[in-house]
Chain A
Amino acid sequence: MRNNGGYLSQACSAAEQLAWLYNEALNLGDPTLPMIPQPFGGVPAPGNDDYVTGAGYNGPFEPQYDRLFIAPAHYALVAYATLIETGRMSAEGLEMFNKDGSSVEMIGAEHSPGMEVHNGTLGIGLSTGAGLAYGRRLRGEPGEVCVFMSDGEVQEGQTWEAIQACAHHGIDNVWAIMDVNDQQCDGAMSSVMEVRDIATKMRAFGATVVEIDAHDLDAMRQARKEPHKGQPLIILAHSSPTQGMSFLQKRFPRLHYVRFKSEQERNEMNISIAKELGVEPVEFEKH
């Protein structure tokens, strides 16, 4: 609200999924990085010995713990909010969002809280997760690798390369939950590039697939129990991009990045969303 818009619909569609991952589904240790994020500390380079990724907010790298990749880095805002709500990051972290010199970047970078790899280029997350999972299996580590994905990524060929590689090598210590909100930058996916039946295609490529309602926690819990020996498990979580913020329906189908069209719209949305969420409207800073 204060930033005059943002990646709001991603929060609507994915809030329950991320909450479930952090609260129940993943075995994560306590955070290893300060509750208030450090400023940007430079990129990986020879001599930058203090460089760390944001993975420490998800706990330490120990064999028994799971690892999480947020494949669509545009979901950073809702991912940061989840870190705050689960006590892994201080609320001050969000004040640094998209500010110059901050590590709490708009498109999550490796060094952003909760992130471990760069995923802003869509479609590379599952491959990286599969590689890490294979490596962890070779090392005999019990911890698994979870990739949070978005449905737009199925338009990229690499996603299918990753699924076939997982199946070929029997990589079953990687699993994914995909936010299927039928939205992408240009609008509804069906209008931008029809992807047809994702579940059938994924099964044909060698994944175990379960389809659920993304706003139903019990369905998630049940889906995670699906046996997937020798295959990756992919949970397709069908979501509403306006869940909890009905006002956004007025902007359908251009929901990828919601920029308020007028001060009036911003005010109306502020009051409407606050009411629906049961919180006070946000106070705007002077611009």
Chain B
Amino acid sequence: MVEMVTRPYAGAFEKYALANKDVLCMSADLTSSCEIDGFRDRHPEQFMSMGMAEQNMLSFAGGLGLAGYRPFIHTFGVFTYRRPYDQLMASIAYPRRKVRLMGFLPGVTTPGGMTHQAIEDIAIMRAMPNMSILETGDATEVESLCEAADSIDGPVYCRVLRGTVPRLFDSPIKVGEMRELSHGDDILVVTAGITTEEALRAKTALVNAGVSIRHLHLNTIKPFDSKRLLDHLQSVKHGVITLENHVINGGIGSLVAETIAEAGIQKKLVRLGLKDTYAHGGSRSYLMRYYGLDALALVNGIENLMNIETNIDADDLESARVDAVHSSAKAEAL
């Protein structure tokens, strides 16, 4: 049974910020939602309430960066770049301010629907010169995120998991280093964030069906180690499949496609994720099933890519972990 960790960001951020006095905690009216309410109450001198005013918050953070501070901005991922895109570019990314954008509720991890689901954030941030991107896939990555993000010489956008988070890994994020979770030679599976847990759910069933999987988990999406990916691509016989909690254009599917094309190697690629569509509001497990982001979608993708029948059905997969929408580990049902 996977260990479940409650609110891993809360304690990790507090510990990190207290040891680093130039870290400032900023919030745009989503303080408990981003698990920093305890920090606000205990350390008001290191906390700034910026209100529902993201444009000002981002430029203000740029100004704090000029004064040598390293602001950690806490809000939902969508609110760090959709409305204040201009400010993100001009006040943070261009001048390489050491601002750490902590984007909660990545992709379909929220029932909040289109306005709350950051489904194209990685594509946007990948296109933005000077921006780095980290994505967390388990509690250990969330716990090590602050230190990893703060080691980056420039701005960084992070996809952060909150509430009840499984512990899948026992080592911290090493920026720029992908995790190699299995070393099979039929097919390469590339996942990031919550889709890694889905791929792990399918692992035993796929092994039993005789499919040999090589599985990579990405926590650093930019900068990206294409050379390492190429080594893995060339170690499998049948091709590569990406599974992402994001639209398939501009995210890790595109990243793998670009790597394949630029190296001029011939490998089949299947990109699973949101296929040029918005999602709607619903539970995570429902949305992952509905939009084809879950373990079963991965199995189907592998069957298509290898042109095989595994006869794996939903009952053969390790049971999906269902988060209670109204769990007390979250500030609200979002």
Contact = CB atoms under 8 A, between A and B. Distances in A.
Nearest to A118: B90
A138 B60 contact: no
A132 interface: yes
Interface in A171-188: none
Q: Which of B60, B68, B87 has the most CB of A within 10 A?
A: B60
Contact of B63 (A44, A130, A139, A164): A130
Interface residue tally on B, bucketed by range: 20 to 34
Contacts of A162: 56, 59-60
B55 interface: yes
A165 B60 contact: yes
Interface string A149-164: 0000000011001101
B8 to A, nearest CB: 29
Contact of A131 (B51, B53, B59, B86): B59
A130 B67 contact: no
A131 B95 contact: no
Contacts of B153: 46
B62 A117 contact: yes
Given A121-B86, A138-B69, A157-B55, A131 B61 contact: yes
B176 to A, nearest CB: 13
Nearest to B52: A161
A136 B67 contact: yes
A158 B56 contact: yes
Contacts of A157: 55
B66 A158 contact: no
B166 interface: no
Contacts of B51: 161, 164-165, 168
Nearest to A129: B63
A102 interface: no
Contacts of A130: 56, 60, 63
A35 B238 CA distance: 63
Interface residues of A, number: 34
Interface in A22-68: 43-46, 53
B68 A161 contact: no
B94 interface: yes
A128 B62 contact: yes
Contacts of B48: 134, 169
Contacts of A46: 130, 153-154
Contacts of B95: 44, 53, 110, 117-118
A133 interface: yes
Nearest to A145: B63
A135 B86 contact: no
A135 B53 contact: no
B96 interface: yes
B61 to A, nearest CB: 6
B325 interface: no
Contacts of B62: 117, 127-128, 131
B5 interface: no
B200 interface: no
A244 B60 CA distance: 37
A46 B60 CA distance: 23
Q: Top 5 nearest A-B pairs by Cβ distance?
A: A131-B63, A135-B67, A127-B59, A161-B56, A131-B60
19 contacts: A43-B94, A44-B94, A44-B95, A46-B153, A118-B90, A121-B90, A124-B55, A127-B55, A127-B60, A128-B63, A131-B59, A131-B64, A132-B64, A132-B67, A134-B48, A162-B56, A164-B53, A165-B56, A165-B60
